[in-house]
Amino acid sequence: MKNRNRATTRHQRRRVIQQKLYVVRNVWGRDEKESILHPFIVHPGKLAKGKLNCSCRMCKYDKNYQIPKSTVVSKLELMQQEVDEYWSGI
């Protein structure tokens, strides 16, 4: 593994914070003009750890429109094939 110095670590942390701060401001619609500021805008360093959990229709498209995942679809097809083989053997 390549040795990394503090500057690289700080750069990556700053980059991740800016990316998540963009989501807070533009996707969630939070900005500095509100009377009560969001905690992430007041202390952006909190964005370096953890995830931004968003449950909007754009981020959770499959969940909101009941679209099954590809793993579920393949398992259902396999089970249906086994059932068809069972009934054809009788």
Residue-wise pLDDT tens digits, 25-83: 787 777 767 777 778 778 888 888 877 776 777 777 778 888 888 899 999 999 999 99
pLDDT of residue 49: 82
pLDDT at 1 over 60: no
The residue ranges of every structural domain in the chain are 1-52, 55-89
pTM of the model: 0.52
Type of residue found at 62: D
Which amino acid is residue 40, in one-letter code? F
CA distances in angstroms from 49 to 3, 16, 76, 85, listed in the order given: 22, 9, 37, 51
The pair of structure tokens assigned to 62 is 């499959």
What pLDDT was estimated at residue 87?
Answer: 93
To the nearest 10°, the Cα dihedral for 19, 45, 48, 2?
100
